[in-house]
Chains A and B, each alone.
Chain A
Amino acid sequence: AQTVTQSQPEMSVQEAETVTLSCTYDTSENNYYLFWYKQPPSRQMILVIRQEAYKQQNATENRFSVNFQKAAKSFSLKISDSQLGDTAMYFCAFMKLPPGNTPLVFGKGTRLSVIA
């Protein structure tokens, strides 16, 4: 079974600064997807970024980028130029590829506070 670990329960960052959230996972699979989801106080789960394990290039979405280290089973999220609206819970999630349809496996989350 796959497990996802987020070792930082809470983090804070000054507005406009950069912050990195850590995520490690355990799997025997070779083909899978990794995701970062954001859950603001509204509780709506929002996709931040997605990484396919077969791609060596790290995914980037505007101010959000990942550092994917497949051998180390590490998948960190870097938020640049942090904004107050980035304040949220951030969840790292794993999904293996077929065969077999599999659900998302989530970490426990990191609560990020952006301070003005």
Chain B
Amino acid sequence: KAGVTQTPRYLIKTRGQQVTLSCSPISGHRSVSWYQQTPGQGLQFLFEYFSETQRNKGNFPGRFSGRQFSNSRSEMNVSTLELGDSALYLCASRLTTAGTPETQYFGPGTRLLVL
């Protein structure tokens, strides 16, 4: 079974621009979570989507948004980019049956550099 895939793998943007990152979960997995990884703050949770609905959100400004499609693929968008948004963005998927938190499997990440 193919793993979690993320596109693009690398991205360079300038301040003020917006960016969209994509994540395709493992086949059959219905939950997709997004994390931001920086040297200073470590790994921080952005949001989680399940069945096209955001069901959990981390402490990030409204410039960070996401969505999930009917095939469970997810996108996250960052508008009005700031230098501090430079980070590795990791996507993770899990199966999710009612009442049980399964293990999250991670994609290779998208490295975003904001100049």
Residues of A within 8 A of B (CB): 33, 35, 37, 42-47, 50, 91, 95, 97-98, 101-109
Residues of B within 8 A of A (CB): 33, 35, 42-43, 45, 48, 50, 55-56, 58, 88, 90, 92, 99-101, 103-109, 111
Q: Is A101's CB under 8 angstroms from B90's CB?
A: no
Q: Is B42's CB under 8 angstroms from A97's CB?
A: no
List residues of chain B with CB within 8 A of the CB of A46: 106
- DSSP class of B's interface residues: helix, strand, loop or mixed? strand
- Nearest 10 A/B pairs, CB to CB: A45-B106, A103-B45, A106-B43, A44-B108, A108-B42, A43-B109, A101-B56, A101-B55, A98-B99, A95-B101
Min CB distance, B38 to chain A, in Å? Answer: 11
Q: Is B43's CB under 8 angstroms from A101's CB?
A: no
List residues of chain B with CB within 8 A of the CB of A107: 42
Q: Is B101's CB under 8 angstroms from A97's CB?
A: yes
Who on chain B is nearest to A91 by CB? B43
Docked Cα-Cα span, A95 to B45, in Å, equals 12
Min CB distance, B11 to chain A, in Å? Answer: 14
Q: Is B108's CB under 8 angstroms from A42's CB?
A: yes
Who on chain A is nearest to B43 by CB? A106
Known interface pairs A45-B90, A91-B43, A109-B42; A101-B109 also in contact (CB < 8 Å): no
